Amino acid sequence: MRTRLSICRRKVRYASAEEACEVAAASGLVLHPYYCDRCWRWHLTSRTKGRRRPAGQPKPSLSA
């Protein structure tokens, strides 16, 4: 899915995936880097829909 230009303009841009991962880890939130097809840089997102989980990682439980 293509990133909307209005979203791209509002987000912080990172030069590399490694830099974006470092910022995500330091934030304390669950953030994932992704490559933007608008600005050709890296952004962070909290969205997980459609993302693959590493092998052996259990599905998140829906019960509270």
Output the pLDDT for position 4: 87
In our burial notation (b when 16+ CB lie closer than 10 A, e otherwise), range 28-63 reads eeebebeebeeeebbbbeeeeeeeeeeeeeeeeeee
More confident residue, 30 or 51: 30
More confident residue, 4 or 44: 44
Output the pLDDT for position 61: 53
pTM tops 0.75: no
Output the pLDDT for position 49: 72
Predicted confidence (pLDDT) per residue in 5-41, tens digit? 999 999 999 999 999 999 999 999 999 999 999 999 9
